[in-house]
Every structure is written in C-alpha cells, then in structure tokens.
C-alpha cells in the first residue's frame, strides 16, 4: 500500500516578515498534496511541525482545512503528531490539530490506529527532560507492533546519529519491530536502516533556516513515497517539490568580485549573502550588492563573515552552536547539558514561555522545589 511521508511544513511561518515567504510555505504544502493525490497514495503520515506555532495564523489554519478536505475527497487519510513547534508544553493546552475531526491526530492517550492491515503509531515531541516517559511509551508501542506484520511509527525527535548535542533520543533507544520509522524534526532529508526497518526524515518543505541551504542545493525540498511492504531505504522514493522558493548562497569579499556577481536567476530567489570584509567596508559593499540585486531577488539575507568566523566555519562543516555548547559544558552532567541545549532551542525559536516552563521544571526537580 503506497503512502506519503511528509514533515516540518511549518505552516504560518513568515520568514523575514514577508508576505511572500508566508505564502511560499502554503504553496509547497499545496503542491505536496497535489502530488500525493496524483501518485495515488492511500494515506499520509505527517511527522510534526505541521504548523510553525502552537497558535498559528488563521490563514495557516484555513490552508490545512482546505488541503485536508481535498485529501478527504480522495479517501486519503492524514495521520499526524505534534512537533516541538506546534505543541504548547503546558498541561491542559489544546493543540491546533484538534480543530480537524477528520485528522488522525496521534496523542499519548490514543497513540495508534490501524489502516487496513498496517499499524500506524506515533507520539508527540518529548523534550530530553521527559525522555524517561518517552522511553516507557515507546516500549508499549514496541509490544503493540509485535502483533502487526507491517507498521509505521511517527516521532518528532532528534536522534544522536543525525544530530549533535541537541538530540533527545539515542539510535538504540528507538523501539524495534516497526517497518518504517517516519521521523520529523531534522530539516534535512535522510534515509537509513534500523532493526530491519526503514528510518526516514523527509526534512522541511521550504528552507526554514539558513543552515539548510547546502543540503537544499543538492536535494531540493520534498517528501517521501513508500510502500508499506518496502524493506530497504533504496525502495523509498524522494519527491522533489517544484514550487519551493529558490535560495542562493553568495560570498563576496571585494569590489572586484562584485563585477562577477552571478545572475540570481528566475523566480526572485532569496539570497544568503556572506560579506567577508572588515567592518568599515561592510556598508559600502552591502549597498553596492543591493544596488545590483535588489529588483531581481525577493530578499537578501546578509551576514558579515569576519576572518575569525571564516576560520571556524571550515568548508567541511558549519559552525554548530549545539556542539560548541556541548564542548563548553563537557564537565557538566548529561542532564545539565541537555537542559542547556533544550533551553537554547526554545529561546532560538522565540518560545520564551516554554523556556521558562522547562527551566522551572528543571530547577524544581533539581532542588526539590515542591511544585
């Protein structure tokens, strides 16, 4: 039975505060639904971060309403879980997914469904601080999977093998016995094997952050198509979306290089411009680039690369702030390191409320604050 695996659509995200960027995320999602219907999928699994926020813009809610309706007309079920972006980490909070009765929303209370003869199970995002609960729940799902010949597991977690210090789950902590591990959270597509099953992250459907550009240049953005009978990663098909906004990376270090500035190409791309220069020449170089590019691009996301940064951001590997944090805290306990990483992630995402919650929990557990 053919199914689609998509994740991290971040609907409602308004990158650079631009109308166009908000629309881009909707357009990619609509194209994905078109392709899912055209390919004749029988169901879709969405591995979290459907929305960019736990309280999405009304437009994002309406887009999901319309696309779910199109899928429903074709008899295609939509299974999904909450990611770290569309989940408010507070007891009693209602996730936006509750608005759609036709959505098969997998929750800790009701984590599994059966589609034909295929078990579809999933859990929302769990922060590293709650990994014990997550592991208990996964053990229950592993038992459930033993009773089914084919099964799909939806999770929105970073796994140590694919992520630096910011991971929540170790590879060997994944339960065994599932035929397809439909993962979300890592924004770069990847396929792997585990315990006889297929492990897959389709990544995000638009460039959500600048550090996704390199992989995007090689693979584009998209989702996976798989048969529930598939056993090897090679059997999974990558569907590259055509309507994704182009991102172009440019590095300029002198005025001479400006003469050879490449054409940004069709479709008004976003240019990620790295100016490698001294502070005093930054403004002049930047104005000159803008003068040449402004009407041919949607946006120029500029950063100045100092020589120090240049050295650290070696061509082989970008600067990973989580890795830096990990090495800085290497003397500390594992719990403290993951707390710091979790806090950084939440603050990076502008989720101050959740960050306070996580900090309160961490310190009350630690000092027995009794609340």
Site for Mn ion, rule CB under 5 A: 8, 49
Which residue, 49 or 142, has its beta carbon nearer to Mn ion?
49
> 56-93 b/e with 16+ CB inside 10 Å = b?
bbeebbebbeebbeebeeeebbbbbbbbbbbbbbeeee
> 306-324 b/e with 16+ CB inside 10 Å = b?
eeeeeeeeeeeeeeebbee
- Residues recognised as catalytic: 85
The single-letter DSSP state of residue 284 is H
Cβ of residue 84: shortest distance to Mn ion, in angstroms? 7
Cβ of residue 212: shortest distance to Mn ion, in angstroms? 10
Taking only Cα atoms into account, the Rg of the chain, rounded to an integer number of angstroms, comes to 22
User: What is the distance between the alpha carbons of residues 36 and 31, in angstroms, rounded to a whole number?
Assistant: 9
Cβ of residue 308: shortest distance to Mn ion, in angstroms? 30
Cβ of residue 105: shortest distance to Mn ion, in angstroms? 17
H/E element holding 25? helix 19-38
Strand partners, 237: 225
Residue closest to Mn ion (Cβ):
49
Which residue, 8 or 206, has its beta carbon nearer to Mn ion?
8
Which residue, 8 or 168, has its beta carbon nearer to Mn ion?
8
Which residue, 49 or 104, has its beta carbon nearer to Mn ion?
49
Position of tokens 């930054």? 282
Structure tokens at 243: 């309507």
């Amino acid at each position: 039975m053919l199914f689609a695996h998509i994740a991290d659509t971040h609907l409602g995200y308004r990158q650079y505060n631009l109308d166009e960027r908000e629309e881009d995320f909707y357009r990619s999602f609509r194209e994905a639904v078109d392709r899912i219907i055209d390919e004749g999928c029988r169901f879709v699994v969405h591995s979290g971060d459907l929305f960019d926020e736990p309280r999405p813009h009304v437009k994002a809610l309406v887009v999901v309403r319309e696309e779910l309706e199109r899928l429903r007309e074709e008899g295609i079920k939509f299974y999904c879980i909450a990611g770290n972006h569309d989940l408010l980490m507070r007891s009693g909070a209602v996730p936006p997914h509750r608005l759609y009765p036709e959505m098969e929303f997998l929750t800790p209370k009701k984590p599994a469904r059966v589609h034909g003869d295929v078990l579809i199970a999933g859990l929302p995002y769990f922060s590293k601080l709650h990994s014990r609960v997550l592991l208990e729940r996964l053990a229950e799902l592993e038992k459930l999977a033993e009773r089914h010949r084919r099964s799909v597991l939806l999770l929105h977690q970073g796994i140590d093998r694919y992520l630096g210090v910011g991971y929540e789950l170790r590879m060997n902590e994944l339960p065994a016995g599932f035929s397809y591990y439909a993962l979300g959270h890592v924004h770069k597509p990847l396929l792997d094997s585990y315990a006889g099953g297929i492990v897959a992250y389709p990544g995000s459907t638009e460039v959500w952050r600048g550090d996704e550009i390199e992989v995007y240049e090689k693979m584009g953005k998209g989702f996976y198509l798989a048969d529930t009978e598939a056993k090897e990663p090679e059997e999974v098909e990558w569907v590259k979306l055509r309507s994704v906004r182009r991102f172009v990376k440019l590095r300029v270090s002198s005025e001479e290089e400006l003469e050879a500035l490449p054409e940004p190409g069709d479709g008004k791309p976003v240019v990620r411009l790295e100016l490698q220069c001294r502070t005093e020449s930054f403004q002049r170089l930047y104005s000159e680039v803008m003068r040449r590019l402004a009407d041919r691009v949607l946006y120029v996301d500029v950063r100045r690369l100092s020589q120090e940064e240049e050295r650290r951001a070696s061509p082989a590997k970008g600067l990973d702030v989580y890795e830096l944090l990990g090495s800085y805290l290497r003397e500390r306990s594992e719990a403290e390191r993951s707390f710091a990483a979790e806090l950084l992630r939440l603050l990076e995402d502008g989720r101050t409320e959740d960050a306070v919650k996580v900090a309160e929990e961490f310190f009350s557990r630690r000092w027995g604050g009794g609340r």
